[in-house]
A = this chain, B = another copy of it.
Amino acid sequence: MSLRTPYLMFVGDAADQLAAKTAQGVVDWRPEWCLGQLRLDGCNADLGIPDMTLEEAAEAGVKTLIVGVANRGGIISDVWSNTLVRAIELGMDVASGLHNKLGDIPTVLAAAQEHGRDLFDVRHPTKSFPIGTGAPRRGNRLLAVGTDCSLGKMYTTLAIWHEMKARGMNVDYRATGQTGIFIAGDGISVDAIVADFISGSVEELCPANSDDHWDMIEGQGSLFHPSFAGVSLGLLHGAQANALVMCHEPGREIMRGVKHHSPPSLEDCIALNEQCARLTAPEARVMALAFNTSKMNDAEAEACMKEHSDKFGMPCVDPVRTGVAAIVDALV
């Protein structure tokens, strides 16, 4: 999977801004790739970039229409599918983060075949992967891990990647979920891989590299999440990352999506991640904390980060509030 750039962002008839959060993430992190947005009647989201028709986008050189929006009720309407077909006729590929597959829409599939264009369903693996080997690889890798799902692992790794690029470092973003894949231009939806191939797919995602090179690897889930820990462990083993950043939301009481589990302590979560990571990366250690302090005021957040930085002897940042310069400083 390798998406052609630049993009036209298709927002459809998004009910609200939240429904377009994938598209918004791409615009935030890849503004240079997002030439415009295409909104249909009834759309209540605005990505803050120019509105464009399909024809204007084709004229401007757009190579891929990105469907980075939730479709209402999981139904792809005729208006949507007509839009996708017209984009293909104008020479664009289509990439989608929907659960439904583009190739399951007969008119879209037929148009892609007729015009020789590609359809990318980034939630669905398009190839088979090898079994993981655990063989040592050169290069530097950083993986975001966490006490739970949905507390900023993607944002944290994107921020470090961005900071490293700004410093002229040799760095790639390695995406493991749909938004990250649109931002990186490729990647693997790790949670959609067949279980036997989790670590193998990640070994392929972030292969051996030069000694000055960094991979920023998007994390998923938590070793302590009863729904998804298998994904997290396979990702941890496949990533073979010497640098781990622990993502955490202070004050969260119940783990996301379940009823019976509180997040683990930072001590326990650091210890288990380090122990398991060392199976394939013997030097692995958690070298920074990245907190989501969005529910605190400035003074509370500052005090909380200072307390934890002192306690654990490592940088503690909130990527949104403070940036991640302290993490990159510690890495170089």
Contacts and interface: CB of A to CB of B under 8 A. Distances in A.
Contacts of A261: 134, 279
A234 B224 contact: no
A193 B191 contact: no
Interface residues of A, number: 39
A133 B258 CA distance: 6
A270 to B, nearest CB: 14
Contact of A200 (B131, B194, B227): B227
Interface string A120-163: 00000000000111111000000000000000000000000000
A39 interface: no
B258 A134 contact: yes
B226 A230 contact: no
Nearest to A264: B279
A233 B229 contact: yes
A40 to B, nearest CB: 30
A243 to B, nearest CB: 19
Contacts of A192: 194-196
Given A193-B194, A194-B193, A275-B272, A199 B230 contact: yes
A234 to B, nearest CB: 3
Nearest to A261: B134
B279 A230 contact: no
Interface in A222-269: 223-224, 226-235, 237, 257-261
A276 B235 CA distance: 17
Contacts of A279: 224, 226, 229, 261
Contact of A191 (B195, B224, B226, B257): B195
Interface of A: 131-136, 190-196, 198-200, 223-224, 226-235, 237, 257-261, 272, 275-276, 279-280
Given A133-B226, A226-B279, A272-B276, 12 more contacts: A132-B227, A133-B260, A134-B226, A190-B195, A191-B196, A194-B195, A195-B198, A195-B230, A200-B227, A223-B276, A229-B234, A229-B276
